[in-house]
Structure 1
């Protein structure tokens, strides 16, 4: 259980005993962990000051009365500091007992995190299958994957949905272009991007070709076998390419998670029917639309329309998204749906949720747009190649792995010959660190913000980076190996009771126990950067502990206690990085 949740009812009871009126004020008993500064305790109750001001009471006197009534027997003690802050100082014995329960006892399955029993659909990655994945797909893919992992960790029933773009004019264009080529074998195609660029140029410049491409779309929609076969071949090439990237990135998406736009084609007429029944669908210049007056400001002087069906019976992606909601609520039984999509689509999702709600497509379920910013180059513009082209995601990953390998080799050359890694080990380090660096640099930023892609900074072993955290794990594990106590398990430490006397021990132990609250924040806000910030705090606390507290040279009892704290730290870093989709290494 979360420490803050454990303390909340005790604090509220103490406030009620001191002032029943204060206890009625929202958030008056809310607690938060301190920054670890000496004298401020481990946890602080901050609501007393504002409550006293609101009730025209002396804040220090109210805080003192609350402290007198606060039952912390066996947990710690409370002090009043400053103008009316209540600081809670946890005992080293209680912190040690909690570490034992959370990391080595009955709570180790979820490391103290509360179980979440709900069915959650997560819509993420969703590349356009008419071309190769590029850097623009990175954020949705890894943010979505981190959220999926966090939700699954706490027991949620998660349904992954890769809503790929596999329908529309772009495929008519590709099929028309392929049909004109004599040297293109779809079964052996490796560069879909080049084929798409060629087809797009012809579509924009050649009216006859554009008309023929649209004709192929009609033939595709009518189910003509020959066209369907070519369409499926293109999809297969693109999906295999995407899966290779997913596997390299270490994300959980599989071919079974693909549920593209074409899946909903048969339900599009039903979407129209349901909107008509709800009385919100109107015809505007031949198109079937829904007015969304709540968003008039976003349209300026234009009509705030949500296009469902274009003039001429063509359905847009709005209709497909509505059909997807029907499927996810009606068939998948989702209680929550997360859409991990670029923030530039914010208006679309606000309209989508508004129309779906008014059309009775969902009720008390939670639909949430997990919006994110863009990856930028050092010029603060969207990340491009030197020639101004789109950066392929596969090439970006490969360049990061290669640079990580080069840096690892430079460090390796400085080692003693007997301590050097083999080329195979260096490649494993380069691959893991390269991918981890890309993912962590992205996930450690607030998802709503744009950020600058700087590979050299990402690969640094200092600061809030993946290499720093990965190395902190490796160091924690190496201490145990050097002690020859841990053989991959905690067998030699099972009977050791933890009781922290040293300040650095205590600080690390309290930091480790903050995980349930940090994970709950990640799940509530769909913001993985909270977990990144927490893991950085763990690594920093471990570094301070490692520097201040001798481990292997300590007396046997102290040594084994500190080794157990190292084991808990390693487990926390491995688990936390794993929730971000980052693989740890035993040596690096």
Structure 2
């Protein structure tokens, strides 16, 4: 709705009417009657424009209203009125997943409390919520508002992602789960949810019997001297080879499993040693990718699995099948095996135990599993069984598998090394660092950046490009891994967006305008959308909440990547057509700053920065 032009015309006419009220200042006192007549005409025209503006807004609300966007405006105004001195307060309005608590929810109070706490102000989230509620302006949408629960209810989200196996190195297959899961967590966190990031590592099972048996042989003094296991992958391969070829070793390995499961201290120590070596290697990857995650492996659920099996048995849901205990869920062709014929448990049992713990102990409202699409059927059966036994109602609690395709090489086959081995994730990240530095030097960035700035740019480009290449593809599909494509600074890549972002940020520096000046200007400057490129940019900027809402619903993060690319290209069109800064052609000095356009630059950079943050990308000020 192009009512910005009408508002500008109203502003102009109002100013003209005011000037005509003081004819002496214009030297027109002798024409007072004529001026009064002109004033009356202007007022008549002004009233027509006001009616036109009202009709335009009414028509907009009928044909193009975005309810979420309108609620963002309403609560944004309420927050500004309630806390006028709080800079950039978080604004998070989302549809409520639990209809009994209302249709939409504003999750800003908790985030605002955290922001105030960081500034030394201790304010109760409920007090913040009450103040926001008191300042909600009259509007056409909201029938009533309530502050949920004792205090302020924040939906609790559990995201299960990454999930490597102990004693095996992380490989490219873990890359997608780690990157996608982290980005989903960042989105939920930005929107005000309480997020628990869980790493369901494979840290239990029969393979630990052979690993401990091999540890005893290779490092017999491991109980007193920490074993120097430098290459755990090689250590695993050695033990597996012995397990497959040496019958005596295999028997000892099974005995070690029994000892481990009985919690024998010597075997628990060996198990912990192996787990610690793996954790150190995993952490190197997480440090590179800036991943925060809490480990809660299969071992955590061992005792809980006993209770799960008993619960299913007590409700008559367990059947015997050739010595196995199985569970059939409604509508599912494949059963879950909850106890093997030898009395052991399975992945089915541990995933049921994990789901139950997250529902009843963590009291999660939303649970997301980020694993490859090949596990889709497995989770479908697990969820169906959990609903059958009454653990959760899908209309109230959202439990979802966010599957993803595989990573392919440029030959369109499963991504492998030249020798056919699985690609180690650390090798991939190191190669990314090397190639990003080569790219920066190719552009002579090493000649204009300090050593520290160059290193920051190298890491930003390398890890940002790897993440963006993954996230910019629909996660459901396979995607081709190509360093050449992801480091290309043309097209929809992180390299292009990072360069675009630094250029946008540099505009304010060129105009010698700092953040404080921009904040003050935002309070007093009307943003004029007169040029069609200004209008196009403005419309693109206000779509950000819609984009986040869509991703919240379908968990497809490529939508955000597409939006950021569209925003960057739309900004380029605006900047090429609309002068933000006017300089003297001879001296190069700034002679005029169009502040409303500077505010559009600042808004673009702010949204891009938040988009980068959700994607887990760290931009730099100079590149």
State the TM-score bracket (shorter-chain normalisation).
0.7 to 0.9
1:524 counterpart residue number: 553
Distance change in 2, residues 1:73/1:172 (3 Å): farther
- 2:257 corresponds, among 191, 207, 217, to 217
Q: Distance in 2 between matches of 1:523 and 1:186?
A: 46
Q: Distance in 2 between matches of 1:558 and 1:506?
A: 19
1:16 counterpart residue number: none
Matched, 1:424 2:452: yes
2:345 counterpart residue number: 315
Q: Distance in 1 between matches of 2:336 and 2:384?
A: 10
Q: Distance in 1 between matches of 2:313 and 2:88?
A: 52
Distance change in 2, residues 1:388/1:72 (3 Å): farther
Assess if the C-alpha contact under 8 Å between 1:375 and 1:453 holds in 2: yes
Q: Distance in 1 between matches of 2:614 and 2:360?
A: 29
- Provide the secondary structure at the position in 2 that maps to 1:521: helix
- Provide the secondary structure at the position in 2 that maps to 1:73: helix
1:457 counterpart residue number: 485
Matched, 1:398 2:415: no
1:189 counterpart residue number: 229
- 1:146 corresponds, among 183, 189, 193, to 183
Matched, 1:227 2:267: yes
Assess if the C-alpha contact under 8 Å between 1:78 and 1:89 holds in 2: no
1:355 counterpart residue number: 385
1:422 to partner: Cα distance? 2.8
1:184-227 per-residue CA deviation (whole Å, 9 max, x = no partner) reads 87554332111112222222222322222122111110001111
1:236-256 per-residue CA deviation (whole Å, 9 max, x = no partner) reads 111121122111101222xxx
Structure-to-structure mapping, 1:111-126, within 5 angstroms: 113-114=93-94, 115=106, 117-126=154-163
Distance change in 2, residues 1:190/1:505 (3 Å): farther
- 2:531 corresponds, among 502, 514, 519, to 502
1:496 to partner: Cα distance? 1.9
Q: Which has the larger radius of gyration?
A: 2
1:360 to partner: Cα distance? 2.2
Matched, 1:583 2:564: no
1:493 to partner: Cα distance? 2.5
1:378 counterpart residue number: 410
Distance change in 2, residues 1:357/1:219 (3 Å): same
2:277 counterpart residue number: 237
Assess if the C-alpha contact under 8 Å between 1:132 and 1:193 holds in 2: yes
- 1:389 corresponds, among 421, 440, 444, to 421
Assess if the C-alpha contact under 8 Å between 2:511 and 2:593 holds in 1: no
1:247-272 per-residue CA deviation (whole Å, 9 max, x = no partner) reads 1101222xxx1111000111111111
1:36 counterpart residue number: none
Q: Distance in 1 between matches of 2:472 and 2:316?
A: 45
Matched, 1:249 2:289: yes
Distance change in 2, residues 1:88/1:148 (3 Å): closer
Assess if the C-alpha contact under 8 Å between 1:481 and 1:487 holds in 2: no
Assess if the C-alpha contact under 8 Å between 2:582 and 2:592 holds in 1: no
- 2:544 corresponds, among 505, 515, 523, to 515
Gaps of 5+ in 2: 2-50, 95-105, 108-153, 584-589
Assess if the C-alpha contact under 8 Å between 2:537 and 2:567 holds in 1: yes
- 1:539 corresponds, among 536, 551, 568, to 568
Gaps of 5+ in 1: 4-69, 80-85, 297-303
Q: Distance in 1 between matches of 2:231 and 2:496?
A: 36
- Provide the secondary structure at the position in 2 that maps to 1:360: coil
- Provide the secondary structure at the position in 1 that maps to 2:197: strand
Distance change in 2, residues 1:456/1:356 (3 Å): same
- Provide the secondary structure at the position in 1 that maps to 2:507: helix
- 1:570 corresponds, among 568, 586, 605, to 605
1:469 to partner: Cα distance? 1.0
Distance change in 2, residues 1:187/1:431 (3 Å): farther
1:582 to partner: Cα distance? 0.3
2:46 counterpart residue number: none
Distance change in 2, residues 1:101/1:577 (3 Å): farther
1:72 to partner: Cα distance? 7.4
1:18 counterpart residue number: none
Q: Distance in 2 between matches of 1:434 and 1:205?
A: 43
Q: Distance in 1 between matches of 2:618 and 2:283?
A: 18
2:198 counterpart residue number: 161
Distance change in 2, residues 1:521/1:461 (3 Å): same
Assess if the C-alpha contact under 8 Å between 1:485 and 1:492 holds in 2: no
- 1:435 corresponds, among 434, 440, 463, to 463
Distance change in 2, residues 1:576/1:584 (3 Å): same
Q: Distance in 2 between matches of 1:340 and 1:112?
A: 24
Assess if the C-alpha contact under 8 Å between 1:131 and 1:196 holds in 2: yes
RMSD: 2.9
Q: Distance in 2 between matches of 1:74 and 1:237?
A: 69
1:286 counterpart residue number: 323
1:346 counterpart residue number: 376
Which of 1 and 2 has higher RCO (CA within 8 Å, sep 6+)? 1
Assess if the C-alpha contact under 8 Å between 2:330 and 2:388 holds in 1: no
Distance change in 2, residues 1:148/1:112 (3 Å): closer
Q: Distance in 1 between matches of 2:457 and 2:78?
A: 30
Assess if the C-alpha contact under 8 Å between 2:229 and 2:235 holds in 1: no
Distance change in 2, residues 1:472/1:481 (3 Å): same
Distance change in 2, residues 1:182/1:326 (3 Å): closer
- 1:109 corresponds, among 65, 89, 105, to 89
1:153-208 per-residue CA deviation (whole Å, 9 max, x = no partner) reads 11111111111110001211211112111498755433211111222222222232
1:500 to partner: Cα distance? 1.0
Assess if the C-alpha contact under 8 Å between 1:412 and 1:421 holds in 2: no
1:389-441 per-residue CA deviation (whole Å, 9 max, x = no partner) reads 0111111011011100111011116x8x6xx1233322221111000000000
1:471-501 per-residue CA deviation (whole Å, 9 max, x = no partner) reads 1110110001111112577345333221211
- Provide the secondary structure at the position in 2 that maps to 1:553: strand
